Structure 1
Amino acid sequence: MDQASVPASAERRWLIAAAPAIFLVLWSAGFPIAKIGLRYATPLAFLSIRFALSVAVLLVLCVWRRPVWPRTARAWMHLAVTGFLVQVMYFGLSYLSLTASLSSTVLALVVSLQPIIVGVLAPVLVAERVSARKWIGLVLGLAGAAGVIAARGHVEVQSLSALLLAAGALAGMTAAMLYEKRFGTRQDPLSANLIQYAIGFAICAPLSVSFETMHVQWTGAFVATLLYLVIGNSLIAITLLLAMTRAGKVSQVASLFFFVPPGAALMSYAMLGEVLPSTAWWAMAVAIVGVAIATAGRP
């Protein structure tokens, strides 16, 4: 046996085991950090700058690493569709909903419905059976996630348009996971991410110029949020999400999103000083039990 393959295999196993936790920390932190960043910029301008910086970083990495590019027009198309669903629909509509009077607690609750929708659609669209045990876990996870958010305060929907934007963001991420599971192929993360963020920039930038004032305040806090969202969310978290989706069952990966509202609540407490009531900890325990049940027996 090649001795060099032993540590490489061990490192790969460690990365596979740690990937869900890394993803959840990075993704949950994105809620309060995005909230901070939107104080200084209009939503589509914020996203356009974020995507432009992501493309610039990835271009440098591609020149250095020389990754393999998609070899067929179909592969390019699949990457472009996934990029549109995640970057434009999920992130774009999420940011717009936050600026359209929807509270971050309501947005997090709406997005946490994703695993239930994936569980309903997976058997039809990707021929993946969702067992009764996983349904029980999904329902418990949703109940716990809703409990954490409800414990943080009174939840109100200030406008129907803002709620529809949040629902569109939910539809975008759900469709991206199902599409990636059915049509996605293994691609180099550098080239795949570059294509997808280029799609996001190509769509969001013209929309920002056409429909927004493109107001941006270049403060230290705004620059810090950009750096985190580019590196933590755009480069690392999205790569982990798509990789986990291709490697495991889509309903199991989707159930991880039940951890996002509790995680976002903890991150908001740390970054924004939002207090997490004691009752939320019990609800968080219910969510964790639900996720454990839904994801048990992963290959």
Structure 2
Amino acid sequence: MSPRWLVFAPVIFLLLWSGGYTVAKIALESAEPMTLLALRYGCVLAIMIPLFFIIRPPLPERRADWMHLAIVGFLIQTVYFGFCWLAFRVGVAAGTVALVMSFQPVLVALIAPRWTGEPVGMRRWIGLIIGLVGTAIVINSRTEVAGAGLIGYFFMIMGLLGMTIASLWEKRFGRSHHPITQNMIGYGAGFIGVLPFMLTLDTMHIDWNWEFGIAVAYLVLCNSILAIGLLLAMIRAGDVSAVSSLMFLVPPIAALMAWIGLGEILPPIGWLGMVIAAVGVYLATRKNAVG
């Protein structure tokens, strides 16, 4: 039986994860992408390691569990976030990246039946398609999806595959671990993975100011610790394709937060897209969405 608090997990996750787009945009005014990611992961480890020695939570008993935690951490932190930020670096628009990342639930639904044994019925497929259409409407109402060149699309596809494989891997091999243990191992793998990109691509200069400090604190505490923890908990407790379909709501909610926080106006057609995406997510995440 799933813990009762997981009932509220989708809403909390969506708010924290979606807010990261606006906050990251603020932070990137003061630091380069890979440097920001390394700083973010380093701060998480600076919190997790002392807590580990104070609380002394159990470590994974099997080598395989260590490996699975590290693989999921590497796929999310290095591959997903790393390649998304590399796409931004070569000039891909934020709306283009968000739109491509919205295909993750579709890939999960395609692979899940063979990978995890979860059936994906007609109702869920209809919900996935409706959610994708709604997300595309929102993104296109806010920014033009311009060509990004082959390297840009390569980075986006790699990031998309990173999050997709991480979701499927966690569902099949993930076990319940103490949050401190899980974060320490996962972010350790992500930090090691992102270092080569930072050392070869960035100047590592940071313009320190209070706005940057607040943004990093949000990315560390809300995005890196709480949101990722909720995502993995939801994947373990439910159907991976249903949980992944929540990602359809991230671009619309992120657009709403950008409107409030950054003054980026969403046209009326964009609000229509939000409603369509919400309907799609509802259909795809219903418990009897298998048939």
**TM-score, length of structure 2 as denominator length:** 0.95
Structure 2: any 5+ residue segments left out of the alignment? none
Q: Give the match for residue 75 of structure 2.
A: 85
How far 1:298 moved relative to its partner?
A: 6.5
- Alpha-carbon offset, residue 142 of structure 1: 0.4
The structure 1 residue matched to 2:286, chosen from 289, 292, 296, is 296
AA matched with 1:163: Y
239, 247, 251: which is aligned to 1:257? 247
Q: Which amino acid aligns with 1:219?
A: N
Contact 1:248/1:298 (CA < 8 Å) preserved in 2?
no
Q: Does 1:121 align with 2:111?
A: yes
Indicate which of 183, 188, 196 corresponds to 1:198. Answer: 188
Amino acid at match of 1:57: I
Pick one of 168, 172, 181 that aligns with 2:162: 172
Aligned to 2:274: 284
Q: Give the deviation of 1:54 after TM superposition.
A: 0.2
Larger CA deviation: 129-138 vs 215-224: 215-224
Describe the shift of the 1:219–1:298 C-alpha distance in structure 2 as closer, same or farther (beyond 3 A).
farther
> Counterpart amino acid of 2:147?
V
Q: Partners in 1 of 2:84 and 2:220 — Cα distance?
A: 16
Which residue pairs with 1:209 in the alignment? 199
- Identity among equivalent pairs (%): 43
1:46 to 36, 47, 71: 36
- Specify whether residues 65 and 100 from structure 1 end up closer, same or farther in structure 2 by C-alpha distance, changes over 3 A only: same
For residues 168 and 34 of structure 1, the distance between their equivalents in structure 2, rounded to whole angstroms, comes to 20
Aligned letter for 1:67?
A: P
Cα offset for 1:240? 0.3
Taking the aligned partners of 1:207 and 1:254, their CA distance within structure 2 comes to 28
Compute the displacement of 1:91 (Å): 0.9
Alignment of 1:1-299 (within 5 A): 12-13=3-4, 15-297=5-287
What is the one-letter code of the residue matched to 1:39? E
CA–CA distance in 1 between the matches of 2:146 and 2:201?
27
C-alpha displacement at 1:147, in angstroms? Answer: 0.6
Paired with 1:298 and 1:59, the residues of 2 have a C-alpha distance of 42
Shift of 1:297: 1.6
In 2: Cα distance, 1:297 partner to 1:182 partner: 20
Distance 1:157 1:267 in 2: 26
Q: CA 1:122 to 1:145, structure 2 compared with 1: closer, same or farther past 3 Å?
A: same
Provide closer, same or farther for how the CA distance between residues 23 and 158 of structure 1 changes in structure 2, counting only shifts above 3 A. same
C-alpha distance 114-182 of structure 1, shift in aligned 2 (>3 A): same
1:260-291 CA-partner distances (Å, limit 9, x unpaired): 11011111111211101011111111110111
Runs in 1 of length 4+ with deviation above 3 angstroms? Answer: none
Q: Which amino acid aligns with 2:255?
A: A
Report the alpha carbon displacement of residue 102 of structure 1 after superposing the two structures with TM. Answer: 0.8
Distance in 2, matches of 1:206 and 1:94, equals: 16
RMSD: 1.6
Report Cα offsets for 1:213-255 as digits up to 9, x if no partner: 1121112221111100000011000000000000000000001
Instruction: Judge conservation of contact 1:101–1:159 (CA < 8 Å) in 2.
Output: no
Question: Alpha-carbon deviation of 1:97?
Answer: 1.2
Partner of 1:6: none
Q: How many angstroms does 1:103 deviate by?
A: 0.9
C-alpha distance after superposition, 1:140-173 (max 9, x if no partner): 0000011111111322123321222111111100
Q: How many residues align?
A: 289
